[in-house]
Structure 1
């Protein structure tokens, strides 16, 4: 699948830049491998580039947690966590504002990053400008946590959420009697490295076209699913036929 290849490119680049810290230095050479200054960080118990910081997913300068609540609407498509597989969307369920279930109460926005709160549940949504057709017509479940990002921080936060570090620590902090999950307060225990502005800008510049293409592919696939769901019943009951 095309998106799988694109996502693998992003994973490799993120690991190189923000796990190995070999992002390009001022001379275009890999930072840490070329002797860039590293300083010990007590939260991570490892060295990070000089001038970088460590904050938490709950409170950081690159994103803010989206609170429950949706604008009034006539009909929209509701995506429960079960409707997402990895980063792929199903057709969802058509709902109206007055009769929607209580969990249908999260408003998607441009430049928002979403993940499932449940333990052992890797479900992610990355909603940029190219996802506007889905954003404007959809409502999400409270089983998702959303992070509102800026234009520049969106790609970095999306890559961070998709990294195994985040999902591993999310699972470690999940709790509950019937279904283990994290709440917003738990996210204070998950650390995130905050790069300097120049590196963040460079990562945005390089990865924005990749995330853009992924989103275009998702929206195109959603349209194909709609056509299939409209056409298939007519083919089955004979209202439509396929010419040889």
Structure 2
């Protein structure tokens, strides 16, 4: 049920995005100019991802493969911080952890929640908003993280990369024969269509309540999943007796 609600809310945000930034339904008096993205309003600009006020980083930004192997230890049982992977974001179920030393070593890819995360190896082009979990979080491997310094860029860029031109751009820089992938440098050199700051701010304020509800629903779902995983084995083993509970 919550999943359907979240899907509907995100669809509404995407529809607003397309109305404002694809169909440009905001005024009858818009002057258009030609661009690599077709005809765009003259007050829009095209900029490189790397020039935006935004941190773009990944797991390997923390050191060489040898130093990562030496300093990062993964755990399957709860520990100091979550090690957030593409598969966890897909399932909204987080069960891989790192200890405090590993977390501190991975300081260049710490997560706080709200970052845009894009898979850049294997499942190239999967796009997520990082949830806010109940422990510290750090970025897993084979994904990159975007943390805009301006709030009004977050949902605009999330939809750009997940639903709009960004998907075609990501697929265009994808390489690798055995395993599809792209690198940060090529990604930073891709272009994005950028509306005026005032319009971006209006869009953020319009869709932010929708994404807040989505995030809260995900938190509640995660809590229910944890409770299920705790109670189900006890029910199956008979350790927990519910025969006296009246429905």
Could you tell me the TM-score, scaled by structure 2's length? 0.79
1:178 is paired with a residue whose SS is: coil
Q: CA deviation at 1:95?
A: 3.1
Q: Counterpart of 2:137?
A: 138
1:38–1:49 Cα contact (<8 Å) kept: yes
Instruction: Please give the root-mean-square deviation of Cα atoms over the aligned residues, in Å.
Output: 2.9
Indicate the structure with greater helix content.
Answer: 2
Note the residue ranges of structure 2 that are not aligned, 5 or more in a row.
Answer: 64-71, 74-78
Structure 2: distance between partners of 1:123 and 1:241:
43
Q: Counterpart of 1:125?
A: 128
Q: Counterpart of 1:66?
A: 57
Note the residue ranges of structure 1 that are not aligned, 5 or more in a row.
Answer: 25-30
- 1:31-71 residue CA offsets vs partner (Å, 9 max, x unmatched): 3xx24111122x33x1211121101223324x33135349x
Structure 2: distance between partners of 1:79 and 1:173:
24
| Count of residue pairs brought into register by the alignment | 224
Q: CA deviation at 1:170?
A: 0.8
- 1:128-181 residue CA offsets vs partner (Å, 9 max, x unmatched): xxx4335x4322212111111122222212221221421222122111243111
Q: CA deviation at 1:194?
A: 1.0
Structure 1: distance between partners of 2:127 and 2:107:
17
2:126–2:162 Cα contact (<8 Å) kept: no
Task: Establish whether residue 20 from structure 1 lines up as the match of residue 14 from structure 2.
Answer: no
Provide closer, same or farther for how the CA distance between residues 242 and 165 of structure 1 changes in structure 2, counting only shifts above 3 A: farther
1:111–1:151 Cα contact (<8 Å) kept: no
Q: Counterpart of 1:40?
A: 34
Task: Establish whether residue 95 from structure 1 lines up as the match of residue 95 from structure 2.
Answer: no
Provide closer, same or farther for how the CA distance between residues 206 and 200 of structure 1 changes in structure 2, counting only shifts above 3 A: same
2:106–2:138 Cα contact (<8 Å) kept: no
Task: Establish whether residue 82 from structure 1 lines up as the match of residue 78 from structure 2.
Answer: no
Q: CA deviation at 1:99?
A: 6.7
Structure 2: distance between partners of 1:16 and 1:176:
36
